[in-house]
Structure 1
């Protein structure tokens, strides 16, 4: 058993669980869902190593740690569905860092728990950093925390099959407009179909939330990922030449519509990454995180890394 002082991570091997170093041994350990749930709440992230999991055997483990696997509906990250609500973790170019975030924190409903399975480790790099959301919040300057106290407003411009970003069909995993409207009607989102067949969605969300069990207040928004400044000067400049901010595939302001200063965005991004702890992957590893208590990201890598992700409510 390995823990990192002050870090949201517990590493377990077969020796720690007292089970055989096999997929069956892992299943016997995970069968006590209440025990594992307590471990996860206490440590915020748990990585299980050395059980020989493969793409053919991981589903049974996922069924135990994610009792109600969810579809990636309303997700903004590029990924491919490869199984029963099982997806590639992201298809964002491998040379870039993905900054810290909580999955679907911009949506009305988000998953409470995520599981990542390393089907194939990268040749170099490719760690999944995890950050304690309370520590991330504490790392921000008081001025930034106060500025975000009123929440944020997210805007998505989803095209109809041709354009920048994701289409509404990919985002909501349907080609049925009525199904999209029914989904959005169950949220506090505002939406409108555009004359070009696209869809604009707006949603006001808090910048922080409290964990339902521990009561911890955590940083819980994706302002830095939805803001052009988070892309870097070159990418942001190129986008600015193409579209005004409110027409970008995704954009964010303060809840009242006031622009968020670039300096705030960069501080949020950088301090999240600085506060994070890297989970370095071995093929067959399984990482489970509490999606409220912990944010995650991705380090750049070389080689043909393949990490799959699933989630539950």
Structure 2
């Protein structure tokens, strides 16, 4: 596989000429079938991009089976997504935030006890401008933070979700857990050791602690691994945070976060985490038919603003 030429870390890009195959979905399948240990290659590269194979939506199912043969449902996910029914099992739209917004760097479901080890992105429709998926080496992100911030986070963080029963801010518990059966939700949450409470209005409150960093056992690398900047009001921007604070107490917001001992996380720490993660990121620009596979522990991802229609799909696995 082709090595990145930039001195700074970036994803490894594989083109048909690199793999010695035709620039088609069939050529990509041929290439993937010849890779001896894709897991080891992904651990080494942290992110792999297949560019120039022009994979069509009706060809995607055959390709994804080589990359993620066992795909997870997006249960306990906090991002707004739509499940795609005509392109393979457990495939979703990427986060459906307005195109003018940047989505900050994060590891998917890092707030949950059970998180995927791999994410696969597929560009079905490239935007007319912008819309890159930035990726960041988690070790570089951690190293970019001030020692004061790293020290404050060492004890971990505690996440809180308030999931309404169909009417309210944010996602409902039915959307979040892909079921309308409370018993199924309770089984799922008990398996993750989360604390939860059904409230009188039918909503669900969930709390659970998580680390700020993890040490990857395969590489020995310590990486930044939490979503505090996305769960904290300061990460929303001043105007949005003020508007929410006028309507809701912090404990009643759709999601919030504190240090593991309950101590509030200073807003300036949250902003530093968000901004330095984005500053360390490398943009992956999309062309239609491109795919990117990332290690969800070693690498965080986000989204740049864009113009024109954009459709990037995502799937995940353990």
Corresponding residue for residue 255 of structure 2: 250
How many angstroms does 1:90 deviate by?
A: 1.1
CA contact (8 A) 1:33 1:65 kept: no
Question: Secondary structure in 2 aligned to 1:99?
Answer: strand
Corresponding residue for residue 37 of structure 2: 35
Corresponding residue for residue 109 of structure 2: 104
Which residue, out of 138, 146, 149, partners 1:141? 146
String of CA shifts for 1:95-147, please: whole Å, max 9, x gaps. Answer: 00000000000000100000000000001000000000000000000000000
Instruction: State whether structure 2 residue 267 is matched by structure 1 residue 271.
Output: no
Q: Distance in 2 between matches of 1:32 and 1:210?
A: 31
How many angstroms does 1:2 deviate by?
A: 5.5
Corresponding residue for residue 231 of structure 1: 236
| TM-score (ref. length: structure 2) | 0.97
Give the alignment of 1:108-187 within 5 angstroms: 108-187=113-192
String of CA shifts for 1:211-261, please: whole Å, max 9, x gaps. Answer: 231121100000000000000000000000010111100000000110000
Tell me how many residue pairs correspond in the alignment. 313
Give the alignment of 1:202-221 within 5 angstroms: 202-221=207-226
Q: Distance in 1 between matches of 2:199 and 2:178?
A: 19
Which residue, out of 84, 94, 102, partners 1:82? 84
Q: Distance in 1 between matches of 2:281 and 2:180?
A: 38
Q: Distance in 2 between matches of 1:272 and 1:299?
A: 13
String of CA shifts for 1:20-65, please: whole Å, max 9, x gaps. Answer: 1110110111124543222211110011011120111111211111
Name whichever of 57-66 and 2-11 sits farther off: 2-11
Q: Distance in 2 between matches of 1:295 and 1:43?
A: 14
Name whichever of 207-216 and 236-245 sits farther off: 207-216
CA contact (8 A) 1:8 1:294 kept: no
Q: Distance in 1 between matches of 2:10 and 2:149?
A: 24
Q: Distance in 2 between matches of 1:129 and 1:57?
A: 25
**Structure 2: which 5+ residue stretches go unaligned?**
none
Name whichever of 273-282 and 3-12 sits farther off: 3-12
Corresponding residue for residue 71 of structure 1: 73
Q: Distance in 2 between matches of 1:49 and 1:61?
A: 13
Q: Distance in 1 between matches of 2:222 and 2:35?
A: 25
Q: Distance in 1 between matches of 2:93 and 2:134?
A: 17
Q: Distance in 2 between matches of 1:58 and 1:102?
A: 24
Question: Secondary structure in 1 aligned to 2:58?
Answer: coil
**Structure 1: which 5+ residue stretches go unaligned?**
none
Q: Distance in 2 between matches of 1:32 and 1:255?
A: 46
How many angstroms does 1:19 deviate by?
A: 1.2
CA contact (8 A) 1:127 1:299 kept: yes
